[in-house]
Amino acid sequence: MTTANETDLLPWILGSSIILASVIAIVIVTAARMTSEPATHAAPSAAPKPEIQAAALPPIADQTTARPPLPRGQVWQCVAKGQPTFSDSPCSNSASVRQLSQVNRMDAVVVPVPAASYNWPVPEYTPSFPDPNTADSGNDSSFCKGLKAEVSSINERMRHGYSLPEGEVLRARLRKISDIQYERSCLR
């Protein structure tokens, strides 16, 4: 074997070593967790005695001496680790009651719906779109002048407002005229 072949095997050897080490580490960690955790499927122990449960609850007298809730717009302010904190219950003996300022809010505004949409006035003229394929193909200069005139009339029509379907038709016609002008070398 040459050194070139040995260096080609090096990544494979290192990769498989890393994978093997990872699998061993996972097995060890899993085994350690299984031995340290108590068995959850063991038989349940006897129910706790009622006296122990009663002792875990705070006495009823402590619940009646608890402070009543603060009125609306007031909170408790405490300083914990140098940061002021606010709560609905006192967090230390040095807690003080703070009055909140009025909430800054705005009333909703109802936007009126227009009674009818504006209809653009129909222009007094209707441009005619002659078919450029019917023109005399022998006289390119007059044909190109006709195309330029048609482009001008379409642009003039589009300056006066149009509906969406009308605009699509006009733009399609402009694209077709542009293609014809390019084929006939009218764009000079």
Those residues whose C-beta lies under 8 Å from the C-beta of residue 153, and which sit 6 or more positions away, are 127, 128
**How far apart (Å, rounded) are the C-alpha atoms in residues 121 and 163?**
11
**How far apart (Å, rounded) are the C-alpha atoms in residues 96 and 77?**
5
Q: Is residue 152 in a domain?
A: yes
Q: Please, what is the end-to-end C-alpha distance for the chain in angstroms?
A: 73
- pLDDT of res. 154: 92
Structural domain for 94, as ranges:
68-100
- pLDDT of res. 54: 44
- pLDDT of res. 121: 76
Question: Of the residues 100, 123, 158, which one is the last residue of a structural domain?
Answer: 100
Q: What tokens appear for 18 in the block?
A: 């890393």
- pLDDT of res. 186: 83
pTM equals 0.28
- pLDDT of res. 19: 94
Q: Is residue 82 in a domain?
A: yes
- pLDDT of res. 61: 44
- pLDDT of res. 9: 82
Q: Under a CB-based contact definition with an 8 Å cutoff, are residues 115 and 106 in contact?
A: no
Q: Under a CB-based contact definition with an 8 Å cutoff, are residues 144 and 184 in contact?
A: yes
- pLDDT of res. 7: 58
Q: Is residue 18 in a domain?
A: no
Mean pLDDT per block of 10 residues along the chain (188 residues) reads: 63 90 92 68 50 48 57 82 83 82 76 73 70 53 88 90 90 93 81
**How far apart (Å, rounded) are the C-alpha atoms in residues 34 and 43?**
18
Q: Under a CB-based contact definition with an 8 Å cutoff, are residues 173 and 129 in contact?
A: yes
Q: Is residue 109 in a domain?
A: no
Distances (CA, A) of 56 to 35, 46, 59: 31, 18, 9
Q: What tokens appear for 5 in the block?
A: 């072949």
In the chain, the number of structural domains is 2
Give me the torsion for CA of 58, 62, 63, 68, rounded to 10°. -150
Q: Is residue 163 in a domain?
A: yes
Q: What is the pLDDT of residues 129-170, one digit of tens each?
A: 665 555 444 556 888 889 999 999 999 888 888 889 999 999
Q: Is residue 15 in a domain?
A: no
Give the residue carrying structure tokens 């699998």.
23
Q: Is residue 77 in a domain?
A: yes
- pLDDT of res. 151: 92
**How far apart (Å, rounded) are the C-alpha atoms in residues 91 and 94?**
8
Q: Is residue 46 in a domain?
A: no
